[in-house]
Chain A
């Protein structure tokens, strides 16, 4: 899953014939100044200015301003650009044309196991949450496309009538075509509105693409955004850059405020380790995972980041019995980073808990155990200790 910001999301909709308001994404006041001179619509229309970053609740944070004339828009742009919100700096702002409208509709397409669901309702905008049961759904099997008749019927069932019903059916057809051709996983347009000319326009879009399909979309030149309502941190971005380069995978998500650092192996086991921490009342400082026999240096980079997390009390180096990830090699990377961190004065008072099995497990575990002689507070267990027992032990330790 890869989230796409509003600008590129709108770009994809326009590519497939869906009308959107005019918009520009700007990165500096000078750029907006230049743009405002050559684009009539910026001079004539009321404008909306929004921070163009992966941030949740932009309304609450005052990062969405509506009904502005050009002068007001300029000062809004100036105010937002460079603004610092916790770890995020606002680097981009999207300025779009406000569209006068009466009704707000909702339309979305979503990937399902069998194919896709096309969903639509006349209760758009903020109303959709409370009227979810009114949303009409058309399930399309994978490999099939919705027929005009099916979409016409869907529009009518959703409460559209006359000319608007015809237009909505056409709109949904374009939306489906966009979804299908762009390897999307979810596209939600809320609201869809009718402009003064009677044309249906997508005012706002949530677009999730299938990042795995990037190889066949040369025009996906935009970066993917974090899905969890905040921008990626520098550490996360650095680990992602390593992940993109290597065989296997390394992953990191930082969770501010936690004190149990996670460094487990495996996409499956890592979640059980997180569950175990939470179940024992612990607070996760991060999520991490390495798998698929990544090179030792990649695991080393990941470990460095984990060791740098603030105020951690424990590091959980857990893992199931690997099929083909070399325990000795990957532990080699972890050990290098541990030594480096210790040399830099980190890991003071941090307890390290290790449990692992798999190829070369004896050598890997022995190397970890040998860290005790170097003054690490490290506790090493083999496959005979159940998977998440090290979490129980860590949480019980004083």
Chain B
């Protein structure tokens, strides 16, 4: 048994992110108790119609969000409690809605900074309706083994440490959220734990007083003692004392009151909760409250520190009189645990996961990316350059200075070829249509293929085939004619022997000047000798030259098109930003650039 929040409590949470977080904490509590989630619905107009996903143990449960409290209770008739997480400037209206809903009996409000007048009106309205309005500024309510309203009790480990998975004998009422948790902990260590702990909020005029809850605890057979943590200010402690002293009570009352420091502070200096202030004529001091409680027969330790031993003594008395029985501790294996995430279980060495992908090039799990194990910043500081990164990521090796220079020249020579080629044209067309950078560049990329820029890999493949198989130029040309077709990397639309491609000349000249072995380039140039003799424009083109050189310096055939794609990306980004900068408008083909070869206008036959 318990009060206010029980196993029969079903909750609607009013509010956004903070409310969802509370629901997650409540789900953890229920999981600990092996009970299903008791949050039925959310009310949050901006997200009405959607759901919030709440982790319940090993599952995700979708909890619907409604526009109004009435919608929530109509769809979930089990709802009897509302938890308010609405901002202070709108909390009044939302809470009124909840109080006025006939299905809802208890409303607990966590919102802080609610105007005093609003809180008083809500409290009065609740009393008129015979309902409970707990808060504002309440950390929530928790009943061990049954239900948690809000985040009271904190993290899962703390719930378990405080034995909140099963009821004890002590009730707790506090204004302070942090101290509610502290007392729950003390009750679990010095005694047998709690039945229900309630945070009533630290405002000047909380919606519910100690007496209403003491009355409920008195009628709860499981609760045998109640701990009240009071503060200077107001008269709730005095009323509690009056209630306790009025007649013989079944429950024992333990209380502490804070604010004795006030007596030795400069006059008028006050601190703590909003409600922690003495009356204007000195009433409500910590001393007056403590005296009243003592006089009424409550156990009032001199300090907060003495509360633990007092709770212990009370529990021992209850044991001695046979009122309660000692509750054995759970066997370690039976102590509730949250399911581990895969990451946690892996860390603890408890699961083996079959990887989905395998990567041999880079790792970004640390504080900076590692390329083949080399930290990027250290490569920079050691003077390495973009070509080395390409070597590491495309061929898993650090290329030499010489090789890096060749790669750099290839990239520079291929970066752009003006706006008229297929790739740049597609990018320009897209840019003029108002398409974004990545999509416009992608449009240009799509053009790269067998007829435009995509012959590097093919050329490399066949030159390599020739060298690997020790073919002569003649044998190679015969083989290609019979099995493949035109030789990739040979032939140009406009360039010829008489009008050579300067880029090719430049690249070949540089590579040749290095005095390195270049069997593939040599072979390609030999092929050109034969083909160009047959037809003037069957020269070694830039694709073929790049391919031969890159194979010579050891790059795998499959990576070769990448050099053109990478280089040309620079140009395409340039074309996009160029059009963007100029504010270019939509373009289309002129009719005179189209040969309209379709049938002339004619009559549409009837649909058959």
CB of A324 within 8 A of CB of B151, answer yes
CA distance A274 to B260 in the complex (A): 8
If the complex has contacts A321-B181, A323-B177, are A268 and B273 also in contact, measured as CB distance less than 8 A? yes
Known: A111-B116, A142-B120, A389-B305. A357 touches B89 (CB 8 A): no
A219 at interface, CB cutoff 8 A: no
Known: A111-B116, A142-B124, A265-B178. A386 touches B305 (CB 8 A): yes
The yes or no answer to A113 lying at the interface (CB within 8 A) is yes
Query: Could you say which of B262-270, B475-483, B488-496, B591-599 contacts chain A?
Result: B262-270
How many Å lie between the Cα of A278 and that of B185 in the bound state?
25
Cβ A267 vs Cβ B202 within 8 A:
yes
Which of A229, A278, A287, A321 neighbours the largest number of chain B CB atoms within 10 Å of its CB?
A: A321
Kindly specify which of A96-104, A207-215, A302-310 makes contact with the partner chain. A207-215
CB-based contact A323/B178 at 8 Å = yes
Which residues in B have their C-beta under 8 angstroms from that of A324?
25, 151, 154
Number of A-B contacts (CB under 8 A): 189
Residues on A with C-beta less than 8 A from B556 are none
Chain A nearest Cβ from B465, distance in angstroms = 61
The reply to whether the CB of B338 lies closer than 8 angstroms to some CB of chain A is: no
With A215-B88, A324-B154, A359-B154: A143-B260 Cβ-Cβ less than 8 Å:
no
Query: Is B259 at the interface (CB under 8 A from chain A)?
Result: yes
Contact B268 A213 (CB under 8 A): no
Q: B124–A141 contact, CB under 8 A?
A: yes
With a cutoff of 8 Å between Cβ atoms, the chain A residues found around residue B232 in the complex are 271
Residue A272 interfacial (CB < 8 Å)? yes
Chain A residues positioned under 8 Å from B286 (CB to CB): 275
* Stretch from B50-58, B60-68, B276-284, B449-457 contacting the other chain: B276-284
* Of A229, A271, A276, the contact of B276 (CB 8 Å cutoff): A271
Residues on the B chain within 8 Å of A325, using CB: 178
Q: What interface size band does chain B fall in?
A: 35 or more
Contacts of A268 in B (CB 8 A): 174-179, 202, 229, 231, 258, 272-273
Q: Are A212 and B181 in contact (CB under 8 A)?
A: no
Check: B152 CB closer than 8 A to any chain A CB.
Answer: yes
Which A residues touch B273, using CB under 8 A?
267-268
Q: Does A186 contact B (CB under 8 A)?
A: yes
Expressed in whole angstroms, the Cα–Cα distance for A215 and B273 within the complex equals 20
The answer to whether A274 and B185 have CB atoms under 8 Å apart is no
- Docked complex Cα distance between A322 and B153 (Å): 8
A132 to B268, CA, bound (A): 20
Q: Report chain A residues within 8 Å CB of B265.
A: 255, 284
Considering only CB atoms, which chain A residue lies closest to B257 in the complex? Answer: A275
Q: Is B112 interfacial (CB-CB < 8 Å)?
A: yes
- Asked whether A229 and B268 contact (CB < 8 A) given A183-B117, A323-B177, A387-B305, the answer is yes
Interface of B is mostly: loop
Query: Hey, which chain B residues are within 8 Å of A383, CB to CB?
Result: 161, 185
B271 at interface (Cβ–Cβ under 8 A)?
A: yes
Give bound CA distance, A360 to B157, whole Å: 10
Contact of A392 among B185, B305, B308 (CB under 8 A): B305
Contact status A275-B259, CB under 8 Å: yes
Q: How many residues of A contact B (CB 8 A)?
A: 63
Q: Is A74 an interface residue (CB 8 A)?
A: no
Q: Is B71 part of the binding interface, using a Cβ–Cβ cutoff of 8 Å?
A: no
CA distance A255 to B274 in the complex (A): 19
What's the least CB distance linking B467 to chain A, in Å? 61
Is A13 interfacial (CB 8 A cutoff)? no
B552 lies within 8 A of chain A by Cβ = no
A48-84: which have CB < 8 Å to B? 56
Could you tell me which residues of chain A, from 180 to 238, have a CB within 8 Å of some CB in chain B?
180, 183, 185-186, 210, 212-213, 215-216, 227-229
Q: Are B304 and A183 within 8 A (Cβ)?
A: no
Closest-CB distance, B438 to chain A (whole angstroms): 35
Q: Return the CB mask of A105-119 against B: 1 if under 8 Å, else 0.
A: 000001101110000
CA distance A110 to B267 in the complex (A): 21
Whether the Cβ atoms of A275 and B268 lie closer than 8 Å is no
Residue of A with least CB distance to B259: A271
Bound CA span A275–B302, Å:
11
CB-CB under 8 A from A292, the residues of chain B are 112
- Interface 0/1 of A221-264, CB less than 8 Å to B: 00000011100000000000000000000010101000000000
Contacts of A229 in B (CB 8 A): 266-268
* Contact of A210 with B115 in the complex, beta carbons under 8 Å: yes
Q: Is A330 an interface residue (CB 8 A)?
A: no
Residue B78 interfacial (CB < 8 Å)? no
Q: Who on chain B is nearest to A185 by CB?
A: B116
Q: Does A319 contact B (CB under 8 A)?
A: yes
Q: Mark B296-339, 1 if CB is under 8 A from A, else 0.
A: 00000011110010000000000000000000000000000000
Q: Is B113 an interface residue (CB 8 A)?
A: yes
Distance between Cα atoms of A114 and B151 in the complex (Å): 29
- Bound-state CA distance A113–B303 (Å) is 28
Chain A residue with the shortest CB-CB distance to B205: A113
Q: Which residues of A contact B302 (CB under 8 A)?
A: 279
CA distance A138 to B277 in the complex (A): 23
Distance A251 CA – B274 CA, assembled complex (angstroms): 12
Specify which of A110, A111, A266, A271 lies most central, judged by the most chain B CB atoms within 10 Å of its CB.
A271
Cβ of B119 to closest chain A Cβ, rounded Å = 9
Which residues in B have their C-beta under 8 angstroms from that of A279?
260, 302-303
B391 at the interface (CB under 8 A from A): no
Nearest residue, chain A, Cβ from B276: A271
Q: Is B428 an interface residue (CB 8 A)?
A: no
* Cβ A322 vs Cβ B89 within 8 A: no
Cα distance A251–B270 in the bound complex, in angstroms: 12
Give the nearest-CB partner of B279 in chain A. Answer: A110
CB of A270 within 8 A of CB of B271, answer yes
B120 touching A278, Cβ below 8 Å: no
Among residues of B, the one whose C-beta sits closest to the C-beta of A214 is B115
The answer to whether A278 touches B124, judged by C-beta atoms less than 8 angstroms apart, is no
Digit string of B117-131 for contact with A (CB within 8 Å is 1, else 0)?
Answer: 100110110000000
Is A388 a contact partner of B303 (Cβ separation < 8 A)? yes
B205 neighbours in A (Cβ, 8 Å): 111, 113
| B155 CB contacts on chain A under 8 angstroms | 358-360
Complex CA–CA separation, A111 to B181 (angstroms): 31
The verdict on B403 contacting chain A, using a C-beta distance below 8 Å, is: no
Beta-carbon contact of A210 and B116 below 8 Å = yes
Chain A residues 122-166 with CB under 8 Å of chain B are 132, 141-143
Say if the beta carbon of A269 comes within 8 Å of chain B: yes
Least distance between B5 CB and chain A CB atoms (Å): 15
Q: Is B460 in contact with chain A by the CB < 8 A criterion?
A: no
**A113: contacting residue among B89, B180, B234, B272, CB under 8 A:** B234
Q: Which residue of A lies closest to B181 (CB)?
A: A321
B271 contacts A269, CB within 8 Å? no
Q: How far is the CA of A388 from the CA of B261 in the complex (A)?
A: 14
In the complex, the answer to whether A322 meets B274 with C-beta atoms within 8 Å is no
Query: Is there a chain A Cβ closer than 8 Å to B226's Cβ?
Result: no
B139 proximal to A (CB < 8 A):
yes
Identify the closest chain B residue to A129 (Cβ): B281
Interface centre among A183, A269, A277 (most CB of B within 10 A): A269
Residues of the B chain whose Cβ atoms lie less than 8 Å from the Cβ of A392: 305
**Smallest beta-carbon distance B319→chain A, Å:** 22
- On whether the beta carbons of A357 and B158 are closer than 8 Å, the reply is yes
Residues of A within 8 A of B124 (CB): 114, 141-143
Within 8 Å CB of A265, what residues of B? 178
Assess the A321–B269 pair: CB atoms within 8 A.
Answer: no
B266 touches A255 (CB 8 A): yes
**With A321-B158, A359-B158, A387-B304 already in contact, 4 other A-B pairs whose C-beta atoms are closer than 8 Å:** A114-B124, A289-B271, A322-B181, A323-B177
A contacts, CB < 8 Å to B: 1, 56, 110-111, 113-115, 132, 141-143, 180, 183, 185-186, 210, 212-213, 215-216, 227-229, 251, 253, 255, 265-272, 274-279, 284, 287, 289, 291-292, 319-325, 357-360, 383-384, 386-389, 392
A sample of 17 cross-chain residue pairs with beta-carbon separation below 8 angstroms, ordered by A number, consists of A111-B205, A142-B117, A143-B121, A213-B115, A213-B117, A228-B270, A229-B266, A255-B269, A267-B202, A268-B229, A268-B272, A275-B286, A321-B158, A323-B181, A358-B155, A386-B186, A388-B305
